[in-house]
Structure 1
Amino acid sequence: MAEIFRLFLNSYTFKVVTLGCTLLGVVSAIIGTFAVLKKESLLGDGISHASLAGICLAFLITRKKELYILLLGALIIGLICIFLIHYIQLKTKVKFDSAIALMLSTFFGLGLVLLTYLKKIPGAKKAGLNRFIFGQASTLVVKDIYLIIAVGLILIFLVILFWKEIKISIFQADYAKTLGIDSGKINFLVSTMIVINVIIGIQIAGVILMTAMLVIPPVAAKQWSKKLSIVTLLSAIIGGVSGAIGSIVSTFDAALPTGPLIILVSGIFALISFLFSKKGIIARNYRIYIRNKKLRLEENKGDKK
């Protein structure tokens, strides 16, 4: 513990990476809560995979390796992906999950083709495009933290501002209409927030694992409560702690990748939740055991009479 505190005081890289991963964990968990409750968990997966094509296209067009330019390309493709998914769902008989799978495979395939092509271009390797596949938190700098802070605060502000509308749209869509709430616009807002969250996180978790930062914390939190506010708070805590622990562990062993470690820690929290929460496996089996024991005692009393 003392070593961690010393590193936090003296190591610039340690502070930047830990803060960035913690903030991203909190924001992703909050936004991911709505994706999970709306049963659109795969949406983040589709967007994150599609963003690889946007990153490659941005570099191909500008030939610049600045992070903001690459992320802008990812954002544009992500928004296009969201639009196409909802358009296909509304205008065809294709179901939502099938539309996501269609966009995911198409755009990710395009991204891999472009990535292979870019390897032949001088200077492309120095741009470090490969790091966006699995993430590389060690490349974070202070301006990246500012980006995560700024975007994260905006997303949290939007969640607070539209909390009532989002809550009603998720749980009582028909009732929302009677209140004059446009569920379509609210759903698009949530989808857009998921896109933005994915884009700011792919540098840490990568396009393949980013969706896990959105999904695992709220899934774990749901095991402890049904109340939206509590689930959101617990999800944020799990996401933040997972981000901090994952980044700290990777600091002590450079061979361990930060993104997968964060996901692993989140997975451990989910496993604990599945086992030990009130709705968990152990608690449920214990209740069954107690109930059966009471039934046997009552049967024995009846036999004695």
Structure 2
Amino acid sequence: MKAFLEFFTLTDPNIRYVVLGTMLLTSSAAIVGTFTLLKKKALLGDATAHAAFPGICIAFMLTGTKHPIYLAIGAFTTGWIALLLIDILIKHSKIKEDIATALLLSVTFGIGTLLLSIIQNTSNAAQLGLNNYLFGKAAALLGEDLLVLGILSIAILLTVVGLFKEFTLIAFDKAFAESIHMRVNLLEFVFTSLIVLAIVIGIRAVGIVLMAAMLITPAAAARFWTDRLTKMIGLAALFGAISGLLGSFVSYLFPGMPTGPWIVLIVTAIAYISFLFAPHKGLLAKKLRQYKHQNKILQENILKLFYEIGEEKGDFFGNCSTEELMQHRAIPHNKLIRGLVSLEKASLLYYKGNKWRLTGAGKNEGERIAQRHRLWELYLTKYLKTKPAYIHENAELIEHVLTPELVKELNKLLN
């Protein structure tokens, strides 16, 4: 409890720098990552992060210091050049985007590793800690780092807010944006710069290798919760901030645990929770909707079966055993019992003496389903000239999705 209070009150300046710094970088990256995800350019984040590494090494070699501003300028420059080279490769060769991105990713990271080896063989003592940019070291964030992170994060936020409509349009319909003479190339340039900027501010804490996850994962998690872009951006920023906060807390409780990997693990856990439990797009919600739909089809098929048997016998309220029902339609016994019990609970069937019969409401519902089936069969025969062998099977599928409005139109059309 003492450690918990000490951490969340942010009384220690070192804790304050780490927590605020990681929350700033994760939320800023998540905002930019939302548009990156929608533009289907997720791999660009990984390429940019790796391309920033040579810039960090070059900046250190030129200045002899690890000042965050100098290193940020170097990382931004090489990261942006890499994205420019990817664009040139795509436009002026037969190389596709994924291949060009993978190519630049490997080459730039190799160059960065080579430059780091050269630096490590020099006598400059300031080189210590430079390799932390590979995997990140949030615990090393200082006040000057926090100032740079704050300025760059505010710049990203203001740019996104100021160009929100334009970014939205080119993310969803770039061709339309070009047709109304929007300056798409300039907007793409600005957006590319934001990607690089988000990467630059994050690699100090999360590292080059893991930074792509911070760019894309919060946005991917937010996508499961909403279809509105503004809410998606807000949720992505929130998920990023939460992962930064909790990752820092775990690292504080266990000093041997690196902050960057824990941030990535937490945001990945949020993504998996979203994937499983999001109310509309989550896997469990989809499975539940699928189960309800299958149960609805089963119940409608059983009611139609009772109605058709009633037509044959001339008695819609006659009793039927499960064996008789299965003789008329091949429904597995366990599924049939499940459907019959559900219909009894809905007061559409009545059960007595191991036999079942329709109630008044059940008869009306069975008649409605049979009518939809026969209307569609007639429509297929009369207007679409479908072969008889396919008519019944097609109607078996369509009868469950015909709306009252379509049924009304079919009645009018077929007289």
Structure 2, unaligned runs of 5 or more: 308-415
Corresponding residue for residue 218 of structure 1 = 219
Q: Structure 1 residue 151: deviation in Å?
A: 0.7
Which digits, 9 at most, give the CA deviation of each residue in 1:220-270, with x for residues without a partner? Answer: 111111221111111111111111111111111011110111111110110
Amino acid at match of 1:279: K
Contact 1:119 1:125 in 2 (8 A): no
Structure 2 Cα separation of the partners of residues 269 and 120 of structure 1: 42
Corresponding residue for residue 303 of structure 1 = 305
Structure 2 Cα separation of the partners of residues 174 and 107 of structure 1: 32
Secondary structure of the residue aligned to 1:165 is: helix
Corresponding residue for residue 5 of structure 1 = 5
2:286 to 278, 284, 296: 284
Structural mapping, 1:98-247, within 5 Å: 98-123=99-124, 126-247=127-248
Q: Comparing 177-186 with 221-230, which one deviates more in the overlay?
A: 177-186
Q: Structure 1 residue 301: deviation in Å?
A: 2.2
Moved over 6 A (4+): none
Amino acid at match of 2:182: I
Contact 2:34 2:233 in 1 (8 A): yes
Contact 2:64 2:126 in 1 (8 A): no
Contact 1:33 1:215 in 2 (8 A): yes
Structure 1, unaligned runs of 5 or more: none
TM-score, normalisation: structure 2: 0.71
Structure 2 Cα separation of the partners of residues 118 and 177 of structure 1: 46
Secondary structure of the residue aligned to 2:245 is: helix
Q: Identify the structure with the greater helix proportion.
A: 1
Corresponding residue for residue 83 of structure 2 = 82
Contact 1:65 1:127 in 2 (8 A): no
Corresponding residue for residue 63 of structure 1 = 64
Aligned-residue RMSD, C-alpha:
1.5
Corresponding residue for residue 268 of structure 1 = 269
Q: Structure 1 residue 125: deviation in Å?
A: 6.8
Structure 1 Cα separation of the partners of residues 293 and 169 of structure 2: 37
Larger radius of gyration: 2
Amino acid at match of 1:117: I
Amino acid at match of 2:294: N
Amino acid at match of 1:302: K
Structure 2 Cα separation of the partners of residues 245 and 189 of structure 1: 32
Secondary structure of the residue aligned to 1:65 is: coil
Q: Structure 1 residue 76: deviation in Å?
A: 1.4
Secondary structure of the residue aligned to 1:180 is: coil
Which digits, 9 at most, give the CA deviation of each residue in 1:72-129, with x for residues without a partner? Answer: 2211111211211111111112112211111111110011111122221112574311
Secondary structure of the residue aligned to 2:227 is: coil
Amino acid at match of 1:295: I
Contact 1:242 1:263 in 2 (8 A): yes
Structure 1 Cα separation of the partners of residues 12 and 180 of structure 2: 53
| Percent identical | 35
Contact 2:68 2:148 in 1 (8 A): no
Corresponding residue for residue 32 of structure 2 = 31
Structure 2 Cα separation of the partners of residues 153 and 240 of structure 1: 15
Contact 2:56 2:72 in 1 (8 A): yes
Q: Structure 1 residue 300: deviation in Å?
A: 2.2
Structure 1 Cα separation of the partners of residues 4 and 210 of structure 2: 26
Equivalent residues, number: 305
Amino acid at match of 2:87: H
Q: Structure 1 residue 304: deviation in Å?
A: 2.8
Q: Structure 1 residue 275: deviation in Å?
A: 0.5
Structure 2 Cα separation of the partners of residues 220 and 259 of structure 1: 19
Q: Comparing 202-211 with 115-124, which one deviates more in the overlay?
A: 115-124
Structure 1 Cα separation of the partners of residues 125 and 221 of structure 2: 40
Corresponding residue for residue 55 of structure 2 = 54
